[in-house]
Amino acid sequence: MTDELGHLPTDDDDDEVAIVARVPSEPQVLRLRIEADHAGDRIDMAIAELAALSRATVQRLIEEGRVTLGGRVVTKAGQRVRTGAAIEVRIPAPIVIELVAEDIPLVVMYEDSELIVIDKPAGLVVHPAPGHPRGTLVNALLHHCKDLGGIGGELRPGIVHRLDKDTSGSIVAAKTERAHAGLSAQFAAKSRGDTDPNGILREYLGIAVPPPLKERGTLRTFHGRHPTDRKKFSTRVMWGKSAVTHFERVELIADGEAALMRFRLETGRTHQIRVHAADHGWPLLGDQLYGKLPRNTTLPIGSIAATLGRQALHAAVLDFEHPVTGERIHCASPLPADFQAALDGLRSLTRSST
């Protein structure tokens, strides 16, 4: 996944490297007409070619309801178009984001001249965004990595995958163009559902409340924007990208009312594990966006969730092929203290003690 901010280096000194986004300052409205040579094409492909946008960008605009066909909002990126069809694409005005190198402590799991793997703490945002331009992993990497080779001719780390702000654990970033290209290809293959045993392995630990009935299984669903809440994603959609999560119930805890879970991603969709768990009836402990506690429990699980203050999800294992040397890189992140405390607290709960 490539960065979309288009960062430009400035002449600031090494300790305060400011990088400003190269973006247009006004929103754009593109009005397109389908000619015969695009008749029958997918609408995302037709727009990408006619408007000189990336297909991923077009798909995101469709997900956000910013594309209309004949005056109607397009909901399917794979919808076919006919000759003469009128398409309108509304591209919002980006907000210029200034990136500053910041001395934020990092736990480095692996590092060489090509890439770096960080054990990200919960609460650390990965990438700057409007309203949150400082205090992110990118800001920290700009300060930490004195040997950045640059991505796309620009001085910045290459973020090829992300973790939610309140998800802890292993995350990799590229320092050079070739590492970025190689890692991006590996993650793109995983997002397509590639089952190559030599591909990227990502395993997560989580706490589900209540536990799933099955000890292990595989969830295969569509994955798309929630039909009514645009902040959320859902499996309960008529169309979307494929999402595949393998799960295993590692340990029953809280007198059987919760479980420590292991998840292995076969695809990599936004909030995939959280959505799969919640939509199948066993949301993650502390997930304020997708979860809720069972009403019939007599155990103080809610107080443990409140103390944790985030979703109980941790990227425990990241295993991949080094994009330059071909070496297998295996990084295992131990459970952070807050997750371990929640797990210990749930293990101690019994109905007889309440």
Both tokens assigned to 285: 């402990």
Which tokens belong to 5?
């901010």
Q: Which helix (H) or strand (E) holds 293?
A: none
Alpha-carbon distance 245 to 222, whole Å? 12
Which residues neighbour 22 within 8 Å (Cβ) at sequence distance 6 or greater? Answer: 5, 6, 7, 8
Active site residue 164: yes
Are 250 and 207 spatial neighbours (Cβ–Cβ below 8 Å)?
no
Which of 164, 166, 287, 338 does the annotation list as catalytic? Answer: 164
User: Measured between alpha carbons, how far is 18 from 10 in angstroms, rounded to an integer?
Assistant: 6
Q: How far apart are CA 310 and CA 339, in angstroms?
A: 9
- DSSP-based three-state secondary structure for 214: coil
Q: How many CB atoms lie within 10 A of CB 203?
A: 19
Active site members: 164
